[in-house]
Chain A
């Protein structure tokens, strides 16, 4: 079955600092999704990556998928308190009607 490892488990950064979090799959992926969850709320879709080597950016967040389509990183530039939350990566394995499997999430805290 698809397994996703996210690292680090948690992260505390000073406002304004850059940071990178990772998501590693045990198998080649059809698609990799990044979501953010604030406490007590639902998941907010950030980005989806499907092609090896693909990179997408939205505001200060950049996500990359490696060529082998097994590892993804999420980079936040000049972090702000609004970036705090739980970041979850979800993966679709290759194949139709695949189920989206999530990692355990990374808790990010940003100190003002």
Chain B
């Protein structure tokens, strides 16, 4: 009965590859997010979707493309991966501006 789930948990890939991370929430929330946590543990928002509509799009390279097929899913696709993309990516969801519930994270390592 996991609330916010992400797959995969670990992702190791070569520079230049394209990869996707999936996120699903079963809380019935209307808003979903992607965050990036760098090596210094600093957590920064990347994207936010409300009812499948993009509402926050931070300064993120356009190699990153979120896709929300429905309210319960928000996937993150990354093209042409670079070394600097290595980080832990967290998905989260909330009902409006209420507290956000986070997934377990996906640790991406680009070699």
Contact = CB atoms under 8 A, between A and B. Distances in A.
Interface of A: 30-31, 33, 35, 37, 40-45, 48, 86, 88, 90, 92, 96-102, 104-105
Contacts of A42: 4, 90, 102-105
A25 to B, nearest CB: 16
Contacts of A35: 102
Interface stretch (B11-19, B40-48, B63-71, B75-83): B40-48
A79 B55 CA distance: 40
Nearest to B43: A102
Given A31-B97, A37-B41, A86-B41, 5 more contacts: A45-B99, A45-B101, A105-B41, A105-B42, A105-B43
Interface of B: 4, 33, 40-45, 48, 50, 55-56, 58, 90, 92, 97-105, 107
- Report whether over half of chain B's contact residues are helix, strand or loop; otherwise say mixed: strand
Contact of A100 (B42, B45, B105): B45
8 contacts: A37-B41, A42-B102, A42-B104, A45-B99, A86-B41, A92-B97, A96-B97, A104-B41
Most buried by A among B4, B58, B101, B107: B101
Contacts of B50: 97
A99 B48 contact: yes
A33 B105 contact: no
Contacts of B99: 33, 45, 48
Contacts of B43: 43, 88, 102, 105
Contacts of B103: 42
Nearest to B31: A97
A37 to B, nearest CB: 8
Nearest to A105: B41
A102 B41 CA distance: 11
A97 B55 contact: yes
